[in-house]
């Protein structure tokens, strides 16, 4: 089972290395990872996806909470949240001969063509992981020259992990 977690961390050098190193040293694999500043410049949010049962998730969360630079950890399981992946994909157009086909498929997926050259296009796709994966599958009929994806990002529809970080967590770590 895949779990989406966010960790609100202090925005300082070495935090990403510390968190990812801790997870690796305990044999946890990170399927997806995205890190960036929050609305508070002193904090960053790490959103990552790990695979495992509830026991694995509980271990990951407990290990994260032990790290001094981790302010708060949130598990999106059972929460109402929005998630997105972002991808840039460079697709060959055979000298422009297949450009109209690529454009049609791009429109179906509500992608955005961000660069055009005589030999290829670069398309930006944002959405749920299934949408991004489906677009990749459709583009396989063309030559995919390059592809890059962000890790998953997510926000709960209600509340704010950043604002809530100032208040103590009402649940003990074992109950979360």
The CATH number assigned to the domain holding 39 equals 3.30.70.260
Is the per-residue pLDDT at 74 higher than 70? Answer: yes
Q: Tell me the pLDDT band of 173, cut-offs 50, 70 and 90.
A: very low
What is the Cα–Cα distance from 85 to 18, expressed in whole angstroms? 24
Q: What is the mean pLDDT of residues 66-87?
A: 91
- In this structure, the answer to whether residues 74 and 116 fall within a common structural domain is no
pLDDT at position 161: 66
Is the per-residue pLDDT at 85 higher than 90? Answer: yes
CA angle (40 as vertex; 34, 45 as ends), nearest 5: 20
- 0.85 exceeded by pTM: no
Q: How many CA atoms lie within 13 A of 55 on its CB side?
A: 0
Share of the chain above pLDDT 70, in %: 90
- In this structure, the answer to whether residues 97 and 123 fall within a common structural domain is yes
Residue 166 belongs to some domain of the structure: no
């Amino acid at each position: 089972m895949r779990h989406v977690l966010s960790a609100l961390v202090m925005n300082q050098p070495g935090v990403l290395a510390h968190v990812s190193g801790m997870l690796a040293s305990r044999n946890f694999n990170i399927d997806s990872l995205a890190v960036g500043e929050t609305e508070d410049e002193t904090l960053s949010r790490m959103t990552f996806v790990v695979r495992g049962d509830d026991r694995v998730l509980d271990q990951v969360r407990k290990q994260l909470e032990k790290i001094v630079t981790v302010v708060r950890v949130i598990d999106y399981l059972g929460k109402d949240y929005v998630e997105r992946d972002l991808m840039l994909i460079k697709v060959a157009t055979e000298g422009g001969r297949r450009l109209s086909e690529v454009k049609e498929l791009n429109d179906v997926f509500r992608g955005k063509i961000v660069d055009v050259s005589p030999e290829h296009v670069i398309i930006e796709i944002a959405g749920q992981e299934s949408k991004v994966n489906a677009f990749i599958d459709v583009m396989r009929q063309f030559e995919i020259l390059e592809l890059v994806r962000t890790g998953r990002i997510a926000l709960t529809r209600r509340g704010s992990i950043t604002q809530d970080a100032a208040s103590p967590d009402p649940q003990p770590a074992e109950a979360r």
